[in-house]
């Protein structure tokens, strides 16, 4: 039909002429003309590339998909639909008998009105001029049936009020309601009411202003995103109104791995004293493709690079089901391999030089989520929530997710499970239940999806266990001298260091790596051969198996008591007394001190998860004179609060 508007491949056209089998289209934007066959137009319509329009333009945001479709009369109330079809009955009969263009000839239109009134059983037929207006509007709108919709009589919305009133409403909404103080609608309306009383007191003819319900509707018309952004902050509004999509497309296992920390919703107790130690920390690494957990750390180490490295080491290495931590587990935990991309938040531990160096050596792409956007790593966030809900909150001593949910439940008093028992229960739930059941998103069990994915994409392992352990250490520089290497007030030496010193005339700095969980040995970089050499401590009886945290605690007490820092015999004695002090801490009244004692204990994970598997260190004789132990002062437990 000539004059009809249409959209073809996102461009708006108007039918200019119809020539046999060709249609001449006029482009609305630049009035350019194109000719296309009717068959091609029908084909384009079948593909969804052609949209026919009435009197209004259709918004098309994509060349292949129309994102918005105008509503039809079926979306209108039933009484409005009947009114539209009544008008259409009169107009369509006029077009059928008199042609499409409207004709303002009363003698020709009145017989048609009478005929249609009898067909529709219309007791009150419309007048000639009403039918003509309907007909003309329908013609002007290119046969759009929605042109028959009735217009509501009278003024609508804000047009019923004076501009002075509308300015007051706008001012109060912008300057009072849309503020961070978040006043209620009733508070703002009271101010508005008071302001209108002041204005009307100065006028001869009072101004009409909206009622309370009408004012509420005006406030309700505000864009909800802008309202939340002004009252609660843009970050909160962005999070609330975010668009949830399918997320990044993951094609194989280990392509995208997410990591996060949390405190478990349960309090553990010391197995010896029965006193509560606090809430353990969980660090978890999960594979997005299969939803399989790759590695976890459960202990009292706060979120740090050490807890991340413990979990990452377990994620990369094959799981030895013969370890004691898996004694009660039935199924196998078959995950292993170096991840391609590690997704983490903006915690300081993830920005550490050690973690970034580790990822560089292993070929892992480290990606950070934007700040305050936990949904960017929603897979691990959801797993943590599921773990706390299905396991921790069902254990004695549960803290629940919030104070309201906990109620009068005394979590400290009810706690009775040790850290080892909590860890074993979590492993059993994770491996025997979570990994084996069907995941709600993938519709597959994580264990089976991992097995299938690992056959298509073979996981990669590091060059050797020694290479991985070396990558998981921390790095610094120290001076190589005739004494060897001094770090943390401990000396490390071996014959190979003399050979390195002979290459240069003076002492020089070397790269040193150390393991926070075992300071019994360090690794020194040999720039001639391009590799690291394991150098043992000259005092292995003290340093072997000792963590850096424990060593700093001992050194602090030595300094406080005024003993020489190089008194090796006193240091050995203090190490023996350290464990006595730990037991005292675990029995202390304050939960904070008991938690501190748990952190000072030996590493919570099983031995296979230790970062250090160094070669045996040569024994060094140490003269442990009993007189030295008699001279040592007792531990000052009050000083532990400063640690």
Region 215-225: mean pLDDT is 90
pLDDT per residue as tens digits for the range 16-29: 888 888 888 888 87
Write the pLDDT tens digit of every residue in 122-156: 988 999 899 999 988 888 877 778 888 876 544 45
Question: Comparing 351 with 408, which gets the higher pLDDT?
Answer: 351
Does residue 275 carry a pLDDT above 90?
no
Q: What is the DSSP letter of 537?
A: B
More confident residue, 627 or 92: 92
Q: Picking from 259-263, 278-282, 592-596, which range would have the lowest pLDDT averaged per residue?
A: 592-596
Average pLDDT over residues 359-376: 85
What is the distance between the alpha carbons of residues 143 and 131, in angstroms, rounded to a whole number? 15
Nearest by Cα to 282 from 327, 247, 256, 314: 314
Q: Please state, in angstroms and rounded to a whole number, the distance separating the CA atoms of residues 382 and 434.
A: 13
- Range in 160-164, 276-280, 316-320, 601-605 the model is least confident about: 601-605
Entry field: residues in the chain:
643
What tokens does 130 get? 């009403």
Query: For 182-200, what is the mean pLDDT?
Result: 92
Least confident of 149-158, 220-229, 478-487: 149-158
Q: Is the dihedral of CA 190, 192, 195, 197 positive or negative?
A: negative
Question: Mind giving me the DSSP string for 169-207?
Answer: HHHHIIIIISSTT---HHHHHHHHHHHHHHHHHT-SSPP
pLDDT score of 151: 66
Q: Which helix (H) or strand (E) holds 353?
A: helix 353-362
CA-to-CA distance for 339 and 290, rounded, in angstroms?
Answer: 13
Cα angle 443, 448, 451; round to 5: 135
pLDDT band at 627 (very low <50, low <70, confident <90, very high): very low
| Per-residue pLDDT, 282 | 94
Between the alpha carbon of residue 442 and those of residues 288, 304, 363, 518, 555, the distances in Å are 10, 32, 28, 41, 53
pTM of whole model > 0.95? no
Residue 219 has pLDDT above 70, yes or no: yes
Average confidence score pLDDT of the chain: 82
Beta strands in 215-353, from DSSP E residues, in sequence order: 257-263, 268-269, 276-278, 281-287, 293-299, 341-344
- Band of pLDDT at residue 296, cut at 50, 70 and 90: very high
Coil vs helix vs strand at 343: strand
Residue 450 in this model has a pLDDT that exceeds 90 = yes
User: Which residue has better confidence, 411 or 384?
Assistant: 384
Structural domains in the chain? 4-53 (no CATH), 76-148 (no CATH), 163-241 (1.10.10), 256-456 (3.30.420.10), 465-601 (no CATH)
Residues in CB range of 443: below 8 A, 6 or more apart: none
Find the range with the poorest average confidence among 191-195, 318-322, 460-464, 474-478.
318-322
Give the integer Cα–Cα distance in Å for 272 and 249.
Answer: 49
* Residue among 67, 71, 66 nearest 51 (CA): 66
How many other β-carbons are positioned within 10 Å of the β-carbon of residue 290?
27
Highest mean pLDDT: which of 19-33, 431-445, 502-516? Answer: 431-445
Q: In the predicted model, what is the mean pLDDT of residues 579-584?
A: 76
Predicted local distance difference test score (pLDDT) of residue 258: 94
pLDDT band at 44 (very low <50, low <70, confident <90, very high): confident
Instruction: Name the 3-class secondary structure at 121.
Output: coil
65 Cβ contact partners less than 8 Å away, ≥ 6 residues apart? 48
Q: What is the DSSP letter of 154?
A: S
260: left (phi over 0), alpha (psi -120 to 50) or beta: beta
- What integer pLDDT is reported at residue 302 of this predicted model? 85
| C-alpha to C-alpha distance for 488 and 307, rounded to whole angstroms | 21
The stretch 538-566 carries a mean pLDDT of: 79
Where is average pLDDT lowest: 151-155, 215-219, 306-310, 532-536?
151-155
Q: What is the pLDDT of residue 146?
A: 82
What are 300's two structure tokens? 């009292």
Q: Which of 139-143, 151-155, 288-292, 446-450 has the lowest mean pLDDT?
A: 151-155
Give 56-110 pLDDT, tens digit per residue. 443 434 434 444 555 567 777 888 888 888 998 999 999 888 887 888 888 888 9
Q: In whole angstroms, what is the distance from residue 259 CA to residue 350 CA?
A: 10
Residue entry with tokens 């050690």: 354
586 vs 140, residue with greater confidence: 140
Say if residues 299 and 279 touch (Cβ distance below 8 Å).
no
**pLDDT reading at 634 higher than 60:** no
Phi, psi (5° rounding) for residue 405? Answer: -70, -35
Both tokens assigned to 309: 């490295």
Residue 586: what are its φ and ψ, rounded to 5°?
-65, -20
pLDDT score recorded for residue 183: 92
Low-confidence winner among 52-61, 388-397, 467-476 (lowest mean pLDDT): 52-61
pLDDT tops 60 at residue 161: yes
pLDDT in the model for residue 598:
75
In the chain, % of residues over pLDDT 90: 30
Per cent of the chain over pLDDT 70 is 85
Whole-number Å distance between alpha carbons of 239 and 372: 9
């Amino acid at each position: 039909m000539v004059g009809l508007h249409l959209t073809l491949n996102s461009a708006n056209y108007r039918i200019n002429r119809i020539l046999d089998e060709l249609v001449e289209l006029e482009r609305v934007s630049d009035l350019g003309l194109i000719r296309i066959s009717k068959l091609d137009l029908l084909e384009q319509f079948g593909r969804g590339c052609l949209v026919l329009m009435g009197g209004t333009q259709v918004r098309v945001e994509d060349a292949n998909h129309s994102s918005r479709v105008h509503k039809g009369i079926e979306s209108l109330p039933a009484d409005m639909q009947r009114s539209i079809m009544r008008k259409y009955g009169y107009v369509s009969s006029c077009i059928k008998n008199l042609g499409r263009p409207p004709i303002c000839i009363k003698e020709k239109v009145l017989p048609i009105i009478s005929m249609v009134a009898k067909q529709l059983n219309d007791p009150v037929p419309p007048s000639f001029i009403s039918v003509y207006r309907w007909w003309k509007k329908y013609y002007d709108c290119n046969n759009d049936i929605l042109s028959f919709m009735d217009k509501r009589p009278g003024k609508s919305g804000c047009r019923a009020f004076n501009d002075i009133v509308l300015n007051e409403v706008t001012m109060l909404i912008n300057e009072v309601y849309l503020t961070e103080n978040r006043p209620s609608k009733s508070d703002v309306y009271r101010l508005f009411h008071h302001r209108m009383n002041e204005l009307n007191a100065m006028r001869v003819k009072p101004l009409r202003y909206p009622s309370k319900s009408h004012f509420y509707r005006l406030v309700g018309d505000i864009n909800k995103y802008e309202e939340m952004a002004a009252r609660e902050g843009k970050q909160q509004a962005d999070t609330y109104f975010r668009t949830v999509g399918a997320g990044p497309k993951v094609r194989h296992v280990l392509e995208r791995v997410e990591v996060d920390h949390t405190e478990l919703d349960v309090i553990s107790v010391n197995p010896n004293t029965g006193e509560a130690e606090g809430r353990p920390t969980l660090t978890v690494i999960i594979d997005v493709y299969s939803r399989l957990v790759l590695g976890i750390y459960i202990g009292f180490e706060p979120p740090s690079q050490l807890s991340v490295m413990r979990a990452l080491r377990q994620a990369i290495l094959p799981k030895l089901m013969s370890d004691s931590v898996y004694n009660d587990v039935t199924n196998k935990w078959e995950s292993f391999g170096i991840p391609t991309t590690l997704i983490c938040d903006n915690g300081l531990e993830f920005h550490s030089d050690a973690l970034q160096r580790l990822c560089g050596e292993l070929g892992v792409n480290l990606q950070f989520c934007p700040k305050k956007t936990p949904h960017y790593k929603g897979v691990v966030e959801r797993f943590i929530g599921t773990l706390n809900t299905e396991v921790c909150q069902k254990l004695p001593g549960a803290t629940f997710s919030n104070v309201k949910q906990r109620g009068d439940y005394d979590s400290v008093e009810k706690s009775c499970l040790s850290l080892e028992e909590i860890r074993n229960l979590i492993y059993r739930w994770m491996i025997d239940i979570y990994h084996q059941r069907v995941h709600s998103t993938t519709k597959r069990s994580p264990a089976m999806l991992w097995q299938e994915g690992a056959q298509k994409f073979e996981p990669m392992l590091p060059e050797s266990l020694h290479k991985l352990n070396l990558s998981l250490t921390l790095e610094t520089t120290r001076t190589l001298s005739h004494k060897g290497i001094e770090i943390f007030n401990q000396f490390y030496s071996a014959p190979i260091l003399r050979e390195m010193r002979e290459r240069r005339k003076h002492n020089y700095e070397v790269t040193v790596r150390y393991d926070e969980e075992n300071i019994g040995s360090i690794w020194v970089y040999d720039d001639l051969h391009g590799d690291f050499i394991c150098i043992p401590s000259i005092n292995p009886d003290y340093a072997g198996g000792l963590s850096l945290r424990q060593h700093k605690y001992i050194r602090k007490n030595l300094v406080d008591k005024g003993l020489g820092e190089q008194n090796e015999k006193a240091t050995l004695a203090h190490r023996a007394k350290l464990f006595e002090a730990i037991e005292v801490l675990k029995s202390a009244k304050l939960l904070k001190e008991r938690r501190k004692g748990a952190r000072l204990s030996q590493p919570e994970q099983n031995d296979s998860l230790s970062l250090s598997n160094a070669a045996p260190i040569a024994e060094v004789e140490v003269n442990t004179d009993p007189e030295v132990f008699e001279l040592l002062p007792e531990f000052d437990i009050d000083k532990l609060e400063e640690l």
